[in-house]
Structure 1
Amino acid sequence: MWLDIQSTTVDQCIVGKTDSSENNYIFMGLYGGGQYYVGIRAPSYNYGASTSGYHFITFVVEKIDASNSLVTVFVDQSIKWQQIINETLGSSITGNQWSLGQDWDAGPTKSDFFKGVLDEVSFYNRALNANEIRYLYNLQPMLSTIESPTVVSDVVTLTLTTAESSQLTFIARSSDQTILSDSQINLNASGSNEILVNTTGSTPMNLTLTMTPVSNMYGRVLIICSVSGTTGITETSNFPVIVSPPGPGMALEFDGTDDYIDLGSVSGSDPLGLSGSELTISFWLKPELTGNTYQRIIDKSTADNGQNGYGCSINTSGQVEFYTNDDTRLFTSTGVIQPNTWQHIAITGDGTMYTCYVNGIAVPATYPYAYDYPAAATANAKIGAASISSRNLNGQLD
């Protein structure tokens, strides 16, 4: 239990249980000038001065034989005292209910009231060991997770929750200092990637994280957020970030009207034919999501829907579609890609199923037709348009 001890000079019961005549079965408190006291039936022992303020107190009673119990009192995860008491609880301790903060006493008047605050009181039907008590004392602060990858220009919000009011150190670090350095991570508008935060017990605290990219650097980094207190216990929450240059860089820009790249005639045996049973298509995309409803990323076919080949397109609802041999093999949910934002798209085929990944995360999709890999046929190929019709891409591709 956690105690906020507000007096160390008066006798105080913390927890106890008596029989129907109000004789103690077990009794724990502060007695003899604020010393930690445990009594089992008649025998008792007290030792160790208490101090005011919040403390984590654990009373452990372990039966060692038919007549004796080993009692250990822990204060803030350290042993305050350990003593053999010549008595056991036994299997029958029926009588009055457990009492917190007062001594039942035989007679009409109760006494020895605890002065302070009790919190997180727990009972266990076995003797906890020292490691378990250390774990209870050091209950970790909780950092919320970031559900999906973000891009470097986003403002990331997460929450920190602690069981008790605490002062903690919050640090965010980048996994790759060459792409995004720690100095470019800003916590709570402090200008630093490391801050002190003061929490209120059980109340989520909002934290914000912003990042400034390095010019002409791009890639994927992991942001490692950690929070630690005076006990040294650390909680972490990690999330990936897509880092893109602040501008088109070397990307190709398509106007949605007549821009495309003509790759010419591609045979089925050409690596670009993708006629094996497994394949991957990967690209960076910053779409407008306006213009033609169905806009080709790449297309190698002799007709619509990837006939005699394959095709990959996006639509203005933010969906990704992949075709082979005149049928749609994969069609994602709406909104998996966002307008005017750099994002990484990958289509993979493993011989049994096609999967679409956006920023490294597999997105929901339907499969209108069974798995089929591209035919080993010769067909024209284009980037940014369909091979036999317009379907022009409106956006940037890299």
Structure 2
Amino acid sequence: LINDRFGNPNSAYYFDGIDDYITIKEVNGFDEFDDPETEFTLSAWCNPDPGASGFIFSNTTEDGWLDLRMSNQIPRFGIRDTDWTGTVLNSDEQISANEWHHFVGIFNNPEMTIYVDGQNKGSTPFIGDILSSGGWENGGVRIGVTYLLDPWYFEGGIDDVRIYNRVLNETEILELYNEGI
């Protein structure tokens, strides 16, 4: 455990990039993605180590996956289906290491949007079949890793991961960000 974004000791998790992760077996209030009107919001605070890559949030099944992740300190939000068809939306800039940052991924079928530190960093239509991209079952949600082909672990701090079964608006996203700074 490490200090969270407010400086509270032992209040956020540190992931070593080697073998640390948390599994949440069930996410109440969600069904499989069996509704073409599917919408959701993923939100998490992270404090990446220098050069960090890895998965902050993932839900990986044999039917596909969805995630919030980082590659060389660039935030990404991705959804893929069984044919590896899908979309990975990248932020337009690298974030600084050793500082807390707020990530939000929104899916408002068919639109995907990524926010970093309260700012909209891009939107794009989802390409693929959301109905076959996994849902919230078959292994649950993992914080700090994905098991896509091989484990890909996150290195740094993660705090306050949230999953909403609706789209948060810009005001709500700013409120989440501002409560953490």
Which band: TM-score by shorter chain? 0.5 to 0.7
Are 1:302 and 2:65 matched, yes or no? no
Query: Is the contact made by 2:68 and 2:75 (CA closer than 8 Å) also made in structure 1?
Result: no
Match runs of 1:349-368 below 5 Å: 349-364=107-122
1:286 is the counterpart of 2:61: no
Unaligned stretches of 5+ residues in structure 1: 1-215, 219-243
Q: Percent identity?
A: 21
Partner AA of 1:297 in structure 2: I
1:335-372 Cα shifts (integer Å, max 9, x gaps): 25332111111111122201111122110355572573
**Equivalent residues in 2 for 1:61-76 (5 A)?**
none
The residue number in structure 1 matching 2:143 is 383
Q: Distance in 1 between matches of 2:119 and 2:65?
A: 26
Residue 318 (str. 1) matches residue 74 (str. 2):
yes
Unmatched 5+ residue regions in structure 2? Answer: 160-181
After superposition, residues 241-260 of structure 1 pair within 5 angstroms as 244-246=5-7, 249-260=10-21
Structure 2 distance, partners of 1:262, 1:309, is 15
Is the radius of gyration larger for structure 1 or structure 2?
1
Deviations along 1:56-89, one digit per CA (max 9) or x if unpaired, are xxxxxxxxxxxxxxxxxxxxxxxxxxxxxxxxxx
The equivalent of 2:168 in structure 1 is none
Alignment of 1:180-259 (within 5 A): 244-246=5-7, 249-259=10-20
Q: CA deviation at 1:248?
A: 5.8
Pick aligned residue for 2:90 from 328, 332, 350: 332
| Cα deviations by residue, 1:264-292 (Å, 9 ceiling, x for unpaired) | 4x58xx5355635100101111111535x
- Cα distance, 1:297–1:314 mapped onto 2, change above 3 Å: same
Q: Which amino acid aligns with 1:290?
A: G
Amino acid of the structure 1 residue aligned with 2:71: N
Residue 314 to residue 272, structure 1, CA distance change in 2 (3 Å): farther
Structure 1 moving runs of 4+ over 6 Å: none
CA contact (8 A) 1:308 1:377 kept: no
1:301 offset after TM fit, Å? 1.8
Task: Give the residue type in structure 2 aligned to 1:390.
Answer: P
Amino acid at match of 1:387: Y
How do residues 42-191 of structure 1 correspond to structure 2 at under 5 angstroms? Answer: none
1:346 and 2:107 equivalent? no
Other-structure match for 1:160? none
* Structure having greater relative contact order (Cα 8 Å, sep ≥ 6): 2
Residues in 1 aligned to 2:136 and 2:103: alpha-carbon distance in whole angstroms: 26
Deviations 1:88-140 (A, max 9, x none): xxxxxxxxxxxxxxxxxxxxxxxxxxxxxxxxxxxxxxxxxxxxxxxxxxxxx
Question: How far off is 1:257 after superposition?
Answer: 0.6
Preserved contact between residue 333 and residue 365 of structure 1 (Cα < 8 Å):
no
For 2:130, which of 358, 372, 380 is the aligned residue? 372
For the Cα contact (< 8 Å) 1:299–1:311, is it kept in 2?
Answer: yes
Count residues in correspondence: 149
> TM-score when scaled to structure 2?
0.66
SS of the residue aligned with 2:70?
Answer: strand
Shift in Å, 1:247: 5.9
Deviation at 1:316, TM superposition (A): 1.0
Contact kept in structure 1, 2:32 and 2:136, CA below 8 Å: no
